[in-house]
Chains A and B, each alone.
Chain A
Amino acid sequence: MEKEGLGLEITELRLGLPGGSAPILVDKNEKKRVFSDISGDHDNSSTDWKLTQTKNQTVGWPPVCSYRRKNNFQEKDRLETSKMYVKVSMDGAPFLRKVDLSMHKGYSDLAVALEKLFDCFGIGESLKDAENSEQVPIYEDKDGDWMLMGDVPWEMFIESCKRLRIMKRSEAKGFGLQPKDSDHKGNSKDVAK
């Protein structure tokens, strides 16, 4: 809705040369551009941010002062905003590495990162096909048990994971992981301490 003539004839200052040439008005499209990123994309919200639990945020909105933001979050929010570094060991590698779980969106994303870290491949494979892969990624949970990675939802995983280990398939045999075609019933995911 255009507002013609603001009735500001008592304008003290004008842009432009004296003699009455029209003031330079900001182009409406430019105005739109200014606001496009804050009107945010409320529509594409749905599943995406529900998973990550963060939203496309406008800087400084809502107006909660930065001191309060830093000091006032619930466990859940703290998980979102703080780093979650865990140690990763790989059988055969001389040094352990650290990876920030909060930086990854899911298991496949983490697998790619781990593959990059140790310059190997096959971790991603293991998530799809646990029984036959070369590498077996396992993690130690809050209770101190070693678990096969990939069973529980990602959010649950990052909350309970304390450290990671990428085991060789050959080592895993001793842990009770059986190939698909064995007679062994059930417990192929049983991992003894």
Chain B
Amino acid sequence: MCLCLCCVVFIFLILIFYMKMMMGSSFPEEVLEHVFSFIERDRDRNAISTVCQSWYEIERWSRRRVFVGNCYAVSPVILIKRFPDVRCLELKGKPHFADFNLVPEGWGAYVDPWIEAASKAYPGLEEIRLKRMVISDDTLKLISKSFKNFKVLVLSSCEGFSTKGLAAIAADCRNLRELDLRESEVEDLNQSSGHWLSRFPDNYTSLVSLNIACLNSEVSFTALECLVGRCPNLRTLRLNRAVPFDRLAILLRRAPQLVELGTGEASDLRPDVFSPPDVFSNLLGAFSGCKELKSLSGFWDVAPGYLPVVYPICPRLTSLNLSYAATIQSSDLIKLASQCQNLQKLWVLDYIEDLGLEELAASCKDLRELRVFPSEPFGAEPNVLLTEQGLVSVSEGCPKLHSVLYFCRQMSNEALRTIARNRPNMTRFRLCIIEPRTPDYLTLEPLDVGFGAIVEHCKDLRRLSLSGLLTDRVFKYIGTYGKKLEMLSVAFAGDSDLGLHHVLSGCENLRKLEIRDCPFGDKALLANAAKLETMRSLWMSSCSVSFGACKLLGQKMPMLNVEVIDERGPPDSRPESCPVEKLYIYRTVSGPRFDMPGFVWTKDKDSALGLS
């Protein structure tokens, strides 16, 4: 495994260093560079760059892959200065809570300046991966023109562009392998030059992965069919809702080598009403021909009668995403899931119910990741029979389960304790009890002890999301036991600053903390100011942090950007003790940003002098 290889390489490096110290001579740079090429993880590369000046130089010239977790933590200029020859760039922009509309429109995360700079500095750039960023059509055009060997474009939860930009990518990126628009918002602009998919040249055959599931617009089926047919290396194809289910057979027959498939919409198909029987058998035949298919998603509005077309491939499936399949109810879900004995990842709606999860626990022994989403998140009454019991069943029956996202309406400390004891190998545990501040439904007590058990038993827990009725006590447990915790999400919890203090002072590996609607204020924040420099970011909204504290923090900690996000107007039009709406604090080496909208304040923006 690569871990072993890394160890070997490290030992080799230590030997080289020792020899260098002892013999006073150094290895030729080429040797070191070759050795460094086996070190891939950022952390390891950062480590070897600190050994000595020459290693720093060799490492920075040979670093090809850069990941920037917060686009405002560093600037393009600084990046390019240190790493002159980057081939793969990954950037993340808005804070996670932007997914839930908590970050106002126009906050920032514009990628355009990065691509501008890269277009001049990195002509050999091959891969761009963005998450929660704003990218314009002009920038997409710039990408298509600047990087001759461009291969991979992944836009995850991005916005600001349209099909016009996609047309530019299709037309000019001759070496494109991957175009993945996962969950982005794309404007549909009807192009006179035809559908953007038809802009891929006729002699373009290098597509390996295409994910257009998020597109609301129509898709030219002919263009799609041609494209799929002429790209022999196509492994991943995630279609959007505009591609009818019955035409899927055509695509599958053109690309039987597919490994990952996302179906389109099937709402017009009703096998019992009017569609000809050969549509069903056609699809069945097409699916049976896909011997490599391991991952399935999509299924918007599929009539349950059509589900059996995928039965032939179920035993080979390792990943199944039914979380958009609102028309498939419990019994059909059970029938489907129980045939997928090799399933490792399942995303599903709560229609699966406790019974379905029990069945899953019995059939899918290799399950590693489970996400259960709410079918009616805004209804006040439960619409399905999904309770804590379903999660308990899966935790009992699936020994490899380590990543959970679970929406439900009731929970108990007892259940959480059971889950914790069953699955000490849990690494990601995100529980959302839909009604805020819901207590243990059996004892009416807070869920402190239950979550406490989770952090205590699951020693490798890296990510945790809390919900339900929680006091400061749960944070004491988290601070005490959550030593490997890297990301924590908190909502409607805690009693006082003590809660926040426990987390900030106890969780040594904490990188991201996001909090909403909790009674945390100035004290804990100011007392743990230094901690904030060891983290990527802290988000606090609807809490009790005063503007005065924000100003002080910003002044005392120059390596932090303390952003006050307040749509009520300038914070100094209110008393300093007034709590701010939202607060986003992150460490940075590039100083204040210059693209802040009107509702964001930092110490540098505020012309009035703060406290001493």
Q: Which residues of A contact B519 (CB under 8 A)?
A: 31, 35
Is A8 a contact of B378 with CB atoms below 8 Å?
Answer: no
Is B548 a contact of A24 with CB atoms below 8 Å?
Answer: yes
Q: In chain B between 377 and 425, which residues have their CB closer than 8 angstroms to a CB of chain A?
A: 377-380, 407
Is A71 a contact of B324 with CB atoms below 8 Å?
Answer: yes
Is B432 a contact of A38 with CB atoms below 8 Å?
Answer: no
Q: Which residues of A contact B530 (CB under 8 A)?
A: 12
CA distance A105 to B429 in the complex (A): 41
Is A15 a contact of B380 with CB atoms below 8 Å?
Answer: no
Residues A13 and B526 in contact in the complex (CB < 8 Å), given A8-B501, A62-B377, A64-B373: yes
Residue among B97, B377, B407, B495 with max Cβ neighbours from chain A (10 Å): B377
Partner of A45, one of B183, B376, B380, B472: B380
- Binary contact readout A81-112 vs B (1 if CB under 8 angstroms, 0 otherwise): 00000000000000000000000000000000
CA distance A67 to B214 in the complex (A): 8
Is A15 a contact of B552 with CB atoms below 8 Å?
Answer: yes
Asked if A152 is an interface residue, CB under 8 A from chain B, the answer is no
Q: Tell me how far the C-beta of B327 lies from the nearest C-beta in chain A, rounded to whole angstroms.
A: 8
Is A15 a contact of B611 with CB atoms below 8 Å?
Answer: yes
Q: Which residue of B lies closest to A65 (CB)?
A: B99
Asked if B509 is an interface residue, CB under 8 A from chain A, the answer is no
Asked if B605 is an interface residue, CB under 8 A from chain A, the answer is no
Q: Tell me how far the C-beta of A122 lies from the nearest C-beta in chain B, rounded to whole angstroms.
A: 38
Asked if A182 is an interface residue, CB under 8 A from chain B, the answer is no
Partner of B527, one of A13, A38, A45, A68: A13
Is B553 a contact of A13 with CB atoms below 8 Å?
Answer: yes
CA distance A64 to B549 in the complex (A): 31
**Residue count of chain A within 8 Å CB distance of chain B:** 46
> Which of B38-46, B249-257, B574-582 lies at the interface?
B574-582
Asked if B529 is an interface residue, CB under 8 A from chain A, the answer is yes
Residue among A15, A24, A58 with max Cβ neighbours from chain B (10 Å): A15
Is B323 a contact of A6 with CB atoms below 8 Å?
Answer: no
Q: In chain A between 47 and 96, which residues have their CB closer than 8 angstroms to a CB of chain B?
A: 49, 53-55, 57-69, 71-74, 77
Asked if A143 is an interface residue, CB under 8 A from chain B, the answer is no
Q: Which residues of B contact A59 (CB under 8 A)?
A: 100-102
Q: Which residues of B contact A34 (CB under 8 A)?
A: 517, 542-544, 579
Is A26 a contact of B521 with CB atoms below 8 Å?
Answer: yes
Asked if B434 is an interface residue, CB under 8 A from chain A, the answer is yes
Asked if B137 is an interface residue, CB under 8 A from chain A, the answer is no
Q: Which residues of B contact A31 (CB under 8 A)?
A: 519, 521, 544, 579
Asked if B68 is an interface residue, CB under 8 A from chain A, the answer is no
Asked if B82 is an interface residue, CB under 8 A from chain A, the answer is no
**Residue count of chain B within 8 Å CB distance of chain A:** 63
Is B548 a contact of A12 with CB atoms below 8 Å?
Answer: no
CA distance A175 to B470 in the complex (A): 65
Partner of B498, one of A3, A13, A26: A3
Asked if A192 is an interface residue, CB under 8 A from chain B, the answer is no
Is B380 a contact of A6 with CB atoms below 8 Å?
Answer: no
Q: Which residues of B contact A10 (CB under 8 A)?
A: 527
Partner of A38, one of B102, B326, B436: B436
Residues A68 and B323 in contact in the complex (CB < 8 Å), given A15-B611, A17-B612: yes
Q: Which residues of A contact B523 (CB under 8 A)?
A: 6, 8, 11, 23, 25
Asked if B157 is an interface residue, CB under 8 A from chain A, the answer is yes
Is A72 a contact of B323 with CB atoms below 8 Å?
Answer: yes
Partner of B522, one of A3, A25, A60, A72: A25
Q: Which residue of B lies closest to A2 (CB)?
A: B496
Is A13 a contact of B432 with CB atoms below 8 Å?
Answer: no
Q: Which residues of B contact A26 (CB under 8 A)?
A: 521-522, 544, 546, 577, 579
Asked if A184 is an interface residue, CB under 8 A from chain B, the answer is no
Q: Which residues of A contact B367 (CB under 8 A)?
A: none
| 8 sample A-B contacts, Cβ–Cβ < 8 Å, listed by A number | A1-B495, A8-B527, A12-B527, A26-B546, A31-B519, A54-B378, A64-B374, A73-B326
Instruction: Please list the residues of chain A having a beta carbon within 8 angstroms of any beta carbon in chain B.
Output: 1, 3, 6, 8, 10-18, 23-27, 30-31, 34-35, 38, 45, 49, 53-55, 57-69, 71-74, 77
Apart from A24-B548, A24-B577, 14 more pairs, CB < 8 Å: A6-B497, A8-B523, A12-B526, A12-B530, A15-B522, A17-B612, A26-B521, A53-B379, A60-B102, A62-B407, A67-B185, A68-B323, A72-B324, A77-B376
